[in-house]
C-alpha cells in the first residue's frame, strides 16, 4: 500500500473534538482514494513552508516516505504573513526555494511530489461578488516552482474561486467556519471565519483536488476512485 503524505497548513490538517466543527481537506481526502492508498496527514495549523521545515515536520516525513509514495505540498496562507519572520517567505524567491526542498525530499526517496495551490478564502465584497484574490503572488510563485522543478500541480486556488463564485456569499457559508451563535454545542459562540473549513467545505475542496489529479492522468489519476463523477 502506497501512502499520500500531506505537508500543509490548517486548511488541510486533521482536527479533533477540541476544534470541531473545523475539518481539514486532508482529513476527508480518504473518501476519494482507492484502497491501495492511504493518507498520512502532517498538515498543521499556522505553518508555512519555512516553519514546517524549521520545526522538523518535513524531516519527520522524510523518515517515513518511500518509493512509490506521494508528497502533496500545499502552502501559501502563512508564507504571506510578512509581520512574522518565523513564517514569512518572499513569494518569488524563498517560497519557491523552500518548495524545491520539499520536492527534492520526495524525489530523493523515490516518491512523487505534487504541488497544490492554496485554497481561496471566502472573500466576498459588499456587492456579493468574490474579491480579487487573497493569495495571488503565492499561487504565481507555486506555478513558477512547478515549471522550474518540473513537478505536477493541482490549481486548487482557481477551482475554489470558481466554486465560491458559483455558490455565492450566503451559499458558501456552510463550507467555512461561518455560523451564528448556538449552532454547535461544542462551539457555542458565533464564528465569522472565512478561512477555515467545515465538513462540507473540506469534502468539496477535496473533490476538486481529486478532479485535478484525474486531469493530470497516469499515476496521479490512478489514486482517485474510478466511480467518482468529478
> Could you tell me the CATH number of the domain that includes residue 59?
3.40.50.1110
Top-confidence residue, 126 or 5: 5
Report the number of distinct structural domains present in the chain.
Answer: 1
Please give the pLDDT value at position 1. 86
d(CA 79, CA 43): 14
d(CA 52, CA 36): 28
Give domain status of residue 229, yes or no. no
Q: Are the CB atoms for 86 and 127 separated by under 8 Å?
A: no
The torsion region of residue 17 among left (phi > 0), alpha (psi -120 to 50) and beta comes to alpha
Confidence band of 191 (pLDDT split at 50, 70, 90): confident
Q: Which domain holds residue 107?
A: 2-221
Give domain status of residue 230, yes or no. no
Please give the pLDDT value at position 227. 79
What residues have CB less than 8 Å from 85, skipping those under 6 apart?
Answer: none
d(CA 48, CA 82): 12
Any alpha helices (H) in 123-178, and if so which ranges? Answer: 136-148, 156-172
Is 196 in the active site?
yes
Of 162, 166, 183, 189, the catalytic one is 189
Please give the pLDDT value at position 186. 86
Please give the pLDDT value at position 58. 97
Of 42, 135, 176, 196, the catalytic one is 196
Per DSSP, the three-state class of 85 is coil
Give domain status of residue 64, yes or no. yes
Give domain status of residue 70, yes or no. yes
Share of the chain above pLDDT 90, in %: 82
Is 10 in the active site?
yes
Give domain status of residue 227, yes or no. no
- pLDDT tens digit sequence for 56-80: 999 999 999 999 999 999 999 898 8
Is 189 in the active site?
yes
41-74: buried (b, 16+ CB within 10 Å) or exposed (e) per residue?
bbbbeebbbbbbbeeebbeebbeebeeebbbbbb
Share of the chain above pLDDT 70, in %: 100
Top-confidence residue, 185 or 11: 11
Give domain status of residue 207, yes or no. yes
- pLDDT tens digit sequence for 150-168: 999 999 999 999 999 999 9
Amino acid at each position: 500500500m502506497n501512502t499520500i503524505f500531506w505537508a500543509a497548513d490548517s486548511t488541510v490538517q486533521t482536527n479533533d473534538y477540541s476544534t470541531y466543527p473545523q475539518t481539514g481537506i486532508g482529513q476527508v481526502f480518504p473518501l476519494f482514494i482507492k484502497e491501495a492508498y492511504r493518507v498520512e496527514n502532517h498538515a498543521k495549523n499556522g505553518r508555512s513552508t519555512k516553519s514546517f521545515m524549521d520545526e522538523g515536520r518535513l524531516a519527520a516525513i522524510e523518515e517515513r516516505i518511500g518509493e512509490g509514495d506521494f508528497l502533496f505540498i500545499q502552502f501559501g496562507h502563512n508564507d504571506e504573513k510578512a509581520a512574522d519572520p518565523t513564517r514569512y517567505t518572499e513569494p518569488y524567491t524563498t517560497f519557491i526555494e523552500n518548495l524545491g526542498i520539499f520536492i527534492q525530499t520526495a524525489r530523493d526517496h523515490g516518491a512523487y511530489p505534487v504541488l497544490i495551490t492554496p485554497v481561496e478564502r471566502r472573500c466576498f465584497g459588499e456587492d456579493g461578488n468574490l474579491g480579487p484574490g487573497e493569495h495571488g503572488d503565492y499561487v504565481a510563485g507555486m506555478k513558477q516552482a512547478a515549471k522550474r522543478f518540473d513537478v505536477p500541480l493541482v490549481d486548487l486556488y482557481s477551482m475554489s474561486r470558481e466554486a465560491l463564485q458559483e455558490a455565492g456569499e450566503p451559499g458558501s457559508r456552510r463550507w467555512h467556519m461561518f455560523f451564528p451563535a448556538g449552532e454547535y454545542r461544542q462551539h457555542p459562540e458565533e464564528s465569522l471565519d472565512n478561512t477555515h473549513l467545515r465538513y462540507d467545505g473540506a469534502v468539496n475542496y477535496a473533490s476538486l483536488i481529486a478532479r485535478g489529479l484525474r486531469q493530470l492522468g497516469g499515476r496521479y489519476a490512478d489514486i482517485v476512485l474510478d466511480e467518482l463523477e468529478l
